[in-house]
Structure 1
């Protein structure tokens, strides 16, 4: 019975976790839509908000609207007029003291992570962590700024050390380049290996 029970867990656990993650993500998207609709309903007259109240209660509408909004924004952003408006929008945001710091930082991170020409998460490496007698898998994210490089003297690189089993959190570190061992596996296979706590080997190994 114990063997059967464990086999059942191995079948249902991945499915349950997958459903939980999808449900959590869909809940966030629905929450974004719900907040926008609630704001509209609040400022509009009561008689004109009845269709909106019924529309908001339809399951999945929030997800479709968010996806449509993202695609429409992307279509506009790649046009000449869209790029011009984006530059104007960024100039306005960059003149607001607190907003300027937050927006510029987030934009730089998103451009680095999502751009196909960026360095972020392009290479899996091995580094010594948390002490000299142990190793962990990390991801190279770039190279130090000029001031840091000049003060360190020897070549260093930026690495991100993800936590297990949640790789979205972790540690940013600057390590000597000659102490890093590059891996031939892909970033995707390295992430799978980290999330599985080392139980799932990379493809072909």
Structure 2
């Protein structure tokens, strides 16, 4: 009986020792796992910082290279496009030099400008425009493209946009960016009022509204017409940070036109 009791007590002691050993091993495993997590946290933090740094630098590179790539691509496409006009002629002559057609095209455009500046060239151009304006669909395309080209024309007499203008529109405290196209005199019972026709683009350069504004209420900034067109085309991204008004009077031709009216 005593042996049976002793035999029965032995398993209980060994079970208690196994239970104690199991709990200790579990605590040791938890400590080891916690230490591993502590070691992994700095690695994860370093990896996150490195990933953020690489992403920012990569995006900075894309921002810098994107306009450069677009510029070179469009320039290369334009050279190939213009070069294709005279390339077949040189290929028939056995001359295969890349860019020769492009140089020939530029020289041809220069000669065309010299020819149009003469009396004979202006007459030929007038006859050609007369035929084009008789065509139903072509005349609208030609008229729109001619207005755009006249806006950036170096000739002061044919330039559509005379000056860059800033007017108060549509509410007080808000301003609109536009171009002065002409000047006129509004005759009324209270007297004559000198007005300027201001073209304000709304969507594209060739789509906009025309406002008749008193010449005294127009702010003339120190910007050229070419700079104003760049501001409109870029959506205002090329707008300088500081703009100062430039006090200018009307051109003598405009004054003469007003006095004659």
Q: TM-score range by the shorter chain?
A: 0.5 to 0.7
Q: Which of the residues 96, 113, 120 maps onto 1:85? A: 120
CA distance in 1, matches of 2:100, 2:202: 34
Please give the TM-score of this superposition, normalised by the length of structure 2: 0.49
What's the CA shift for 1:138? 1.7
Please give the TM-score of this superposition, normalised by the length of structure 1: 0.59
Aligned to 1:98: 134
CA distance in 2, matches of 1:106, 1:171: 10
What's the CA shift for 1:123? 1.8
Alignment of 1:11-30 (within 5 A): 11-30=64-83
The alignment of Structure 1 onto Structure 2 pairs a total of residues equal to 177
Q: Which of the residues 164, 180, 183 maps onto 2:220? A: 183
Alignment of 1:156-167 (within 5 A): 157-161=197-201, 163=203
Q: Which runs of 5+ in 1 are unaligned?
A: 41-49
Deviations 1:72-97, CA, capped at 9 Å, x for gaps? 3344555xxxx353255246546647
Alignment of 1:1-205 (within 5 A): 1-33=54-86, 37=88, 51-52=91-92, 54-55=94-95, 58-76=97-115, 83-86=118-121, 88-90=123-125, 92-93=127-128, 96=131, 98=134, 102=139, 105=143, 109=147, 110=149, 113-114=152-153, 115-127=155-167, 132=171, 135-143=175-183, 155=195, 157-161=197-201, 163=203, 169-178=205-214, 181-187=218-224, 188-202=226-240
CA distance in 1, matches of 2:167, 2:78: 32
Q: Is the 8 A contact 1:157 1:177 kept in 2?
A: yes
SS, match of residue 69 in structure 1: helix
Q: Which runs of 5+ in 2 are unaligned?
A: 1-53, 244-261
SS, match of residue 121 in structure 1: coil
Q: Is the 8 A contact 2:200 2:209 kept in 1?
A: yes
Q: Quick one: higher RCO (CA 8 Å, sep 6+), 1 or 2?
A: 1
CA distance in 2, matches of 1:91, 1:124: 29
SS, match of residue 185 in structure 1: coil
